[in-house]
Copies of this chain bind each other. A is one copy, B any other.
Amino acid sequence: MYFEYSDKVKGLQEKLNNFMDKYVYPNEKLYEEQLQSNDRFAVVPPIMEELKQKAKEEGLWNLFLPQSEHGAGLTNLEYAPLCEIMGRSSIAPEVFNCAAPDTGNMETIVRYGTEEHKEKWLKPLLDGEIRSCFSMTEPDVASSDATNIQASIVRDGDEYVINGTKWWSSGAGDPRCKIAIVMGKNDPTAPKHKQQSMILVPLDTPGVKVKRLLPVFGYDHAPHGHAEIEYKDVRVPASNMLLGEGRGFEIAQGRLGPGRIHHCMRTIGAAERALELLCKRVQERETFGKKLAEQGVIQEWIADARINIEQARLLTLKAAYMMDTVGNKEAKAEIAMIKVVAPNMALEILDKAIQAFGAAGVTEDFPLASSWVKIRTLRLADGPDEVHRRAIARQELKKYQ
């Protein structure tokens, strides 16, 4: 047991924090302003491309990717505290080319893609030139049980034909989004976990139609956006299939571990920022003759916030450690645990912070309400809390069967 970050990590933390202080935090408002002044889904705020350029120059780029050939070669345990820092600002992950769902998609192509896939899609993604989306969830079935997924991917000669309606294809609103990874059934008669496949679908393929961009608690999340996409007789070359027919679950499993842990680390960063904002605010405002910071109830909020952040971070780091040492599959209980813990922890802290900020807390003057909303969706994305708790319990019960 050893509870210090390595020198390598500490160095990167410092570098990243400096970058955040110098370039990211000061430009959060500008990003929002640039977004307001355009068709929100047509143009990306120019400041984003400037910041990306700067990050690339400083070598703070693609830190998420464990494979050293393509990325920074950091382990999950090394990347986790860096990812946390990026989570402090809603614009930061993209700045460092570490934003979902691109990270998961890049990792998927690295692991399961062919050389052609890599050349065509991975390279521009790694370069931050294009973006991508992941089309799995469907409006018509409870997708938390992935065996319910109904879209079809049918072989027809040298092509696959895709039909189905997906939603929560997040990122498809962005004009730079060029490629989707689509999950669907290719063989409904196969064993339950062998029916699904994943396939690469360029968004400009005929038959792909973004029907609408879904609001999230009132936010549009432009230019990213959460798309409902209709795939109607969409034809792609057979070579676009990832790994092979019926191997969708296998890919999902490999993909989800890192994706979840990234979300959790970012969430911890968001919680830290909320706590920081809360601590500062309550030392500025007074009610009933004393600073809010002196109110016992608020002190209790702060103490519980600190306690819960510490615990969630340690558990997330342990999950990262296990992914690195015994693999994503063996670490699945730990991954499920942090998937439950981190968002709930952060939502609670954000809720208290909003409460302490009063009416200001629900506006965009502070990044509390928007952060709350994003993290609220994480209790649903990649499986709702309830499905993860069920998986954890079943694994625990097995020890005594």
Contact = CB atoms under 8 A, between A and B. Distances in A.
Contact of A297 (B297, B310, B358, B391): B297
Contacts of A280: 400
B390 A311 contact: no
A392 B307 contact: yes
Interface string A268-283: 0000000110011011
B142 A358 contact: yes
Interface string A361-372: 111100001101
A304 B297 CA distance: 13
Contacts of A168: 359
Interface in A287-338: 287-288, 292-293, 295-307, 310-312, 314-315, 317-318, 321-322, 333-334, 337
Nearest to A75: B1
* A-side interface size class: 35 or more
Given A1-B77, A287-B148, A373 B311 contact: no
Nearest to A81: B1
Interface in A342-401: 354-355, 358-364, 369-370, 372-373, 376-377, 379-381, 384-394, 396-397, 399-401
Nearest to A310: B315
A116 interface: no
Q: Can you tell how many copies of this chain the complex includes?
A: 4
A389 B217 contact: no
A340 interface: yes
A314 to B, nearest CB: 4
A298 B299 CA distance: 13
A143 interface: yes
A139 interface: yes
A7 interface: no
A196 to B, nearest CB: 16
Contacts of A314: 311, 314-315, 318
Identify the 8 closest CB pairs spanning chains A and B, nearest first.
A218-B218, A296-B296, A218-B219, A299-B393, A303-B389, A311-B311, A2-B2, A145-B287
